[in-house]
Amino acid sequence: MNASGVVVPRRLRRAVITGGAGFIGSHLCDRLLQRGMRVVCLDNLLTGSIDNVAHLFSNPRFSFRHYDVTEYLYVEDEVDAILHFASPASPVDYAQMPIETLKVGTLGTHKALGLARAKRARFLLASTSEVYGDPEVHPQSEEYWGNVNPVGPRSIYDEAKRAAEAFVMAYHNAHGLDTRIARIFNTFGPRMRRGDGRAVPAFITQALAGEPLTVFGDGSQTRSLCYIDDLVDGLERLLAADCHLPVNLGNPGELTVLELAETIRRLVGGDSPVELRPLPVDDPRRRRPDIARARELLGWSPRVGLEEGLARTVSWWQEGGPHARVDLATAAG
């Protein structure tokens, strides 16, 4: 048992994290290294950034590889856990990279599962609340099958993740692979990208620049926002747990997008106006996780309040956050 009360099996000594230079993936690299594991970070930097892991290059237990996981996937030596986080993850990203998003969710998942089978490694899939689509059930529990438009503009990401879950369950059932599925709800915190299209970085960037805060629709649609530290804690607990069915990880606190914009404006200061824009097609009207399964099986629930998490994120932004750039060759030494 570690300092956080999480039981981490002794055999998990070396992990591969695909998409490890992304927002969530890089925080996972930090956490597993803190636990004494060796970490191999694979990322093609399509949406990830070397900035997110540059501070780890001096750690002898960390290695970074510029790698497209939709191609042949090979990692030498023993691997105990594979955490598959590679994928564009915002509407702006997958609208600009539809084929890449579909490929990493399907071919990439298949390749990562093949590696896990070859290494007899534990496998954790980063799925998403988007598998629920525009939900007709509220809040969303893992038993809900979702309301997804299979040919709509968001289907690129939604259906790729649904296919990824099917791949994971097939490998578990057919090959006995030790698998986990995390359905991740909206998450925020340091290392989010400027201009990735999601509400928190958009509102912070706009508020700091004194620009209008762009709210889609009338702002009454809801989201539930989980701070990154809480999410990583949940992922660590899920990796250690004996649970093969999907588990929701997110904060059940619900607020409207308009309330989120007003909160960020207050934390940043200034008087940026709110500017309403047309609601995108298939944008979910409500989003809130039922985390009863996570509470029961993992002993997990979020601890960081929304305003505290937003304040930390705003501070990181004000300190330069997404502005600094690090050259790969320089970071690698």
Q: Residue 139, preceding bond cis, omega within 30 degrees?
A: yes
Question: Of 235, 145, 228, nearest to 189 (Cα)?
Answer: 228
The rounded distance, in Å, linking the Cα atoms of 58 and 55 is 7
Answer for the pair 82, 125: CB distance below 8 angstroms, yes or no.
no
Q: Which sign, positive or negative, has the C-alpha torsion 24, 26, 27, 33?
A: positive
Torsional class of 120: left (φ above 0), alpha (ψ -120 to 50), beta (otherwise): left
For the record, the structure tokens of 151 come out as 């040919």
Helix, strand, coil in percent for the chain, rounding step 5: 40, 15, 45
Residues 6 or more apart whose CB falls under 8 angstroms from that of 255 comprise 222, 223, 224, 225, 263, 306
Could you please report the per-residue DSSP string of 42-84? EE--SS--GGGTGGGTT-TTEEEEE--TTS-----S---EEEE
Answer for the pair 179, 247: CB distance below 8 angstroms, yes or no.
no
Known catalytic residues? Answer: 157
For the record, the structure tokens of 171 come out as 């490998």
For the record, the structure tokens of 20 come out as 């490890």
Residues 6 or more apart whose CB falls under 8 angstroms from that of 62 comprise 29, 33, 38, 39, 41, 53, 56
For the record, the structure tokens of 174 come out as 């057919």
